[in-house]
Structure 1
Amino acid sequence: MPKMVLTVPPEADGRRVDRFLADMLPERSRTVWQREVKAHQVKVQHRTAKSGDLVHVGDLVEVQWEDPPVARLDLDAVTEIDSSLIVYQDDAIVVVNKPRELVVHPSRGHWEDSVVHRLRPLLGDDGIYFRPGVVHRLDQNTTGLLVLARNELTRSKLSQAIAERKVHRRYLAVVHGQITPLTGKIDAPIGRDAKNRLKMATVLMGKPAMTRYRTIALTAGYSLVQLSLDTGRTHQIRVHLSAIGHAVVGDELYGGGHPQGLLGGQALHAGQLAFSHPENGNPLCFTAPLPCDWKGMGVLPWRAIQQSVFEDEEDLLYPCQNWATDDLLHTWASHFMGS
């Protein structure tokens, strides 16, 4: 039975325990966590929690849960490793560059192939748990970097770091139109769309969500934007950009549409990932180039707005690689011309 211990950060002081868990572990809904509390699967400061209990800064919240029967997938039968995904690995973690159309872990409709399937021999020995090593996710059509844990202790530490916003994820996206102002933040709560349960939306009573953006380059009808997350809601970047009228190009669910012949899919890429190693504390930073199916957009006459990509105050803490914008645009165009 999976188990995790979380420490309540200052920003969560005074929250109900079920809401705290839903905010920290968003892959499970608040309703699910309410059921776990009622089933006596949650402890606060070593005492069994009750519905309505509040958590306070520094509290230890211990939670365990039973995976649904469908989770008893025989992943131990997987013996091969797809090394093409691996950017970095050691005894504690694996960092991967996820391609388009590949889901992170087994789920309905995706029982045969996922990142977890392709790396299963590296991800510990819990064969009944269908998300071994997973601490955060990327949507099926979003490309780029994510980190997985190779054992349950590391998984717990990474989950805590993500909850405390100590794992820094930066994205690149091509969006429709020009965002005004060119740099800013989108602060709007996110919840389930009332009309389409497959979608999320900005809703008054949703969970707090903030996305920061920085326009890197412009061309007629499109912008290349760098984005980072202060929170990690489902579809957050896609929802926020759509809500302000600048949907991600190729994002059909949220109104992005496809430019004919210029793009192979949704133009959202997790290009940089920075965090402290969960075992030794060493600062780590990884950068992934744009996926090859973006190359058609590179032929457009882009004009640089910022001198560099992936540059902000976090660079003082992590050994990150910053790209010169002109170099990025030149390489992007070269890939198209060489195809």
Structure 2
Amino acid sequence: MDEYTLCVTSDKADQRLDTFLAESFEQWTRSHIQNLIKNGNITVNGQHIKSGYKLKDGDIIKVEVPELRPIDIQPEDIPLNILYEDEDIIVINKPQGMVVHPAAGNYSATLVNALLAHCKDLSGINGEIRPGIVHRIDKDTSGVLVVAKNDMAHVALAQQIKEKTAIRKYVALLEGDIKEDTGVINAPIARHPTDRKKMAVVSGGRSAVTHFKVLERFGRYTLIEARLETGRTHQIRVHMAYIGHPVVGDPVYGYRKQAFALKGQLLHAQYLGFVHPRTGRYMEFCAPLPDYFVDIIDKLRQMQ
């Protein structure tokens, strides 16, 4: 069992416990932290408390992380679109509809299942459920992501994401006509206050910054490039809905009535740039837009 002790400083006073821990342990998901709290593995001044506890200056937080119970995640022979691979990393172009890692209700046909069949080794930092997974993209978002084959690579890549030196660019088709050619959305994101399955812009949430520029306008729709400065859950989808231009086809944050027959949002992780963890060489990868995305753009151009 791993144990950690943290002391709350004055600049963190009044922050929620789960928010503080999410910032302190960026490799953990918010749900993992909340489960640790719920199961009594986290105390404040020796007392068991709730996730929403407001911290005070000088509070002593103790975290006990139990050993992972074995979970039977099976390798599956699922084809992968591999953009690059070496002894340390593997870069994948993930298709729409594929879940990145196993979770409740999705213990098979995930990217992790496919990776376990393809690779003998993956980093163990994120445990048995998410081996090698440094960053994620949503099930119905397509595009490029990097997976770590060992802990050295995982730590180095995660640090680049944390320090905002890794470059992640997406292409999205949005509802409506965005008037500005470029813009920055700086709005904190947290769990939706009433719908816990959704994220939302919430005062006191985690810092979230998205840069965007318009690539093409189609009257009722706008094609943009979005660059992530931070990487919050559903960040682009939440931010675009927040400014009144949700991603086309988004079943959670978008319009109920859709003009196109889509299986998910038109959001694609097109570009990823980072420094290789072993060689120190800057590398960049670009995943072409999937055919269904290109077809819709072509139709919109023809209607102009």
Please give the TM-score of this superposition, normalised by the length of structure 1. Answer: 0.71
Q: Does 1:265 align with 2:264?
A: yes
The alignment status of 1:115 with 2:111, answered yes or no, reads: yes
Instruction: Decide whether the 8 Å contact of 2:36 with 2:65 is kept in 1.
Output: no
- Give the AA of the match of 1:74: D
Equivalent residue number for residue 326 of structure 1: none
**Cα separation, partners in 2 of 1:64 and 1:153, compared to 1, 3 Å:** farther
Secondary structure in 2 matching 1:260? coil
User: Quick one: structure 1 residues 293 and 300, their matched pair in 2 at CA, closer, same or farther if it must change by over 3 Å?
Assistant: closer
- Aligned residues of 1:22 and 1:33 also touching (Cα < 8 A): no
How far did residue 260 of structure 1 move? 3.5
The alignment status of 1:78 with 2:66, answered yes or no, reads: no
Cα distance in 2 for residues equivalent to 1:160 and 1:292: 34
1:27 counterpart = 2:40: no
Q: How does 1:79-228 map to 2 (within 5 A)?
A: 80=77, 82-121=78-117, 122=119, 123-124=121-122, 129-228=128-227
Task: After TM superposition, give the deviation of residue 87 of structure 1 in Å.
Answer: 1.1
| TM-superposed deviation, 1:107 | 0.4
- Equivalent pair of 2:191/2:199 in contact (CA under 8 Å): yes
**Distance in 1 of aligned mates of 2:42 and 2:206:** 20
**Alpha carbons of structure 1 residues 73 and 88: separation in structure 2 relative to 1, 3 Å:** same
Relative to structure 2, which stretch is displaced further, 151-160 or 245-254? 151-160
Aligned residues: 274
Q: Which has the higher helix share?
A: 1
Greater CA drift, 257-266 or 199-208: 257-266
Contact 1:145–1:271 (CA under 8 A) maintained in structure 2:
yes
Question: Between the two proteins, what is the percent identity of the paired residues?
Answer: 36
User: How far 1:176 sits from its partner (Å)?
Assistant: 0.5
Q: Give, in whole Å, the separation in 2 of the partners of 1:181 and 1:270.
A: 22
**What amino acid maps onto 1:73 in structure 2?**
I
**Partner amino acid for 2:299?**
L
Q: Distance in 1 between matches of 2:300 and 2:223?
A: 12
Q: In the alignment, what sits opposite 2:285?
A: 286
Amino acid at match of 1:111: Y
What RMSD, in angstroms, separates the aligned Cα atoms of the two structures? 3.2
1:94-144: CA deviation from partner (whole Å, max 9, x where unpaired): 110111111110001101121010011424385971110011111111110
Matched AA of 1:101: G
Aligned position for 1:254? 253
Distance 1:124 1:299, change over 3 A: closer
Mapped contact 1:38–1:51 kept (Cα < 8 A): no
- Taking structure 2 as the reference length, what is the TM-score of the superposition? 0.79
Change (3 A) 1:271 1:128: closer
**Kept after mapping to 2: 8 A contact 1:175/1:224:** yes
Q: 1:300 Cα deviation (Å)?
A: 3.2
Q: 1:52 to 1:37 in 2, by over 3 A?
A: farther
Opposite residue 163 of structure 1, the aligned amino acid is K
Judged with a 3 Å threshold, the aligned counterparts in structure 2 of structure 1 residues 109 and 205 are, in CA distance, closer, same or farther, namely same
